Amino acid sequence: MVTIGEFGRRSGFLPPYIVRRLHESENASLHNIAFDTRELDSGARMAREVRPARIMGRAAMPSVGPQRKVYDLAGNLDPLPGTLSRSEKGQPSGVEVVEEAFEHSGITYNFFKKVLKRESVDNAGHPLISSVNYGVHVANAFWNGVQMVYGSGDGHYFLPFTKSLGICAHEISHGVISFTTNLAYSEQSGALNESFCDVMAVSIEQWHLKQNAADANWALGREVAGPGLGQIDGFRTLTAAKAFEEHVFLGTDPQPKHLDGYDTTSDDHGGVHVNSGIPNHAFYLAAQELGGNVWERATPIWFEAFTGLLNQDASFVDAATATTLAAKRLFSGEPSYATAIADAWRAVGVQSEV
């Protein structure tokens, strides 16, 4: 059973370090956007969710297809989910944000189904519910335990969060984790939880765009940066680079890419959105070394490890060990894969135990 508290303390795609920075901005519009966005973190609207036993069976489910419903909150914060605007058999709504949420959750569903053989978040056809136009000027998106919720930004600094396939994929991946290893949302296990969602998000984008590991962008969220923010690579990137640097409003991307830079802050549940940079970069390095299409090599290995081989309180060392083991299991004919993965973790300062 997942309590309100567990999910209520969780923040959205845009991490607290960015929201706080905007809140402190002398730019009144950004200050107000941040103020409205902080609503998300109150936890008051998080769902109470009854979860089945920890690890769902991996048996193939009969394909039922996506069960999508998109609701429009029309600027309200509650009650969720809002007014039904688009469903699986219904006509297109003509509302851009509604159609974006519908489309992106469909792509995400198809990726989990076709590539990873998982039938929605619970492997049992859990409906993919989205609510759009959450509040006024809210610049964030989140998974509340049972569904996605998207703000539409202000249109100048932030565009609707439905615009990003990666953000939709990230939030749905939180659902996958909650139905599998349910990684505790604090410190290293929380950073692994965040990292898994970023890893799935970049994998889903690359799969959709048919980009190989060498050609891909590897950053997330650039689609929601409006003209007022100017062009940025994204709000975080899995490469060694900074997603943004000395940006007039955002400052500099704080994510470390090596354990030496681990942030021991108590903010953000022990820096889950900051320290996720370390396992994210291990995935990036492993994917580059394995080459080809990420969804055919590194992604299934990470998925196997993160949804099946980790305990709720897993550490970075556990993740390094589990992904190395998963590589041996899934690619027994390619022993170089396990070696490449252990090397990738070692390069970010984490030693696999196998």
* Active site positions, annotated: 171, 273
Question: Is residue 148 classed as helix, strand or coil in its secondary structure?
Answer: strand
Rank residues 167 and 327 by Cβ distance to Zn ion and give the closer one: 167
Rank residues 138 and 325 by Cβ distance to Zn ion and give the closer one: 138
CB of residue 174 vs Zn ion: minimum separation in angstroms?
6
Cβ neighbourhood burial of 131 (10 Å; 0-12, 13-18, 19+): buried
CB of residue 191 vs Zn ion: minimum separation in angstroms?
11
CB of residue 198 vs Zn ion: minimum separation in angstroms?
8
Contact string (CB under 5 A) for Zn ion, positions 144-183, x = contact: ----------------------------------------
Rank residues 197 and 225 by Cβ distance to Zn ion and give the closer one: 197
Q: Which helix (H) or strand (E) holds 280?
A: helix 277-290
Residue spans of alpha helices (H) in 179-232: 187-209
Q: What is the CA radius of gyration of the chain?
A: 19
Rank residues 10 and 118 by Cβ distance to Zn ion and give the closer one: 10
Contact string (CB under 5 A) for Zn ion, positions 185-224, x = contact: ---------x--x---------------------------
Q: Classify the phi-psi angles of 211: left when phi > 0, otherwise alpha if psi is within -120 to 50, otherwise beta.
A: beta
CB of residue 194 vs Zn ion: minimum separation in angstroms?
5
Q: Classify the phi-psi angles of 21: left when phi > 0, otherwise alpha if psi is within -120 to 50, otherwise beta.
A: alpha
Total residues interacting with Zn ion, rule: CB under 5 A = 2
Answer positive or negative: Cα dihedral of 87, 88, 91, 95.
Answer: positive
Greatest alpha-carbon pair distance for the chain in Å reads 58
Q: By the criterion CB under 5 A, which residues form the site for Zn ion?
A: 194, 197
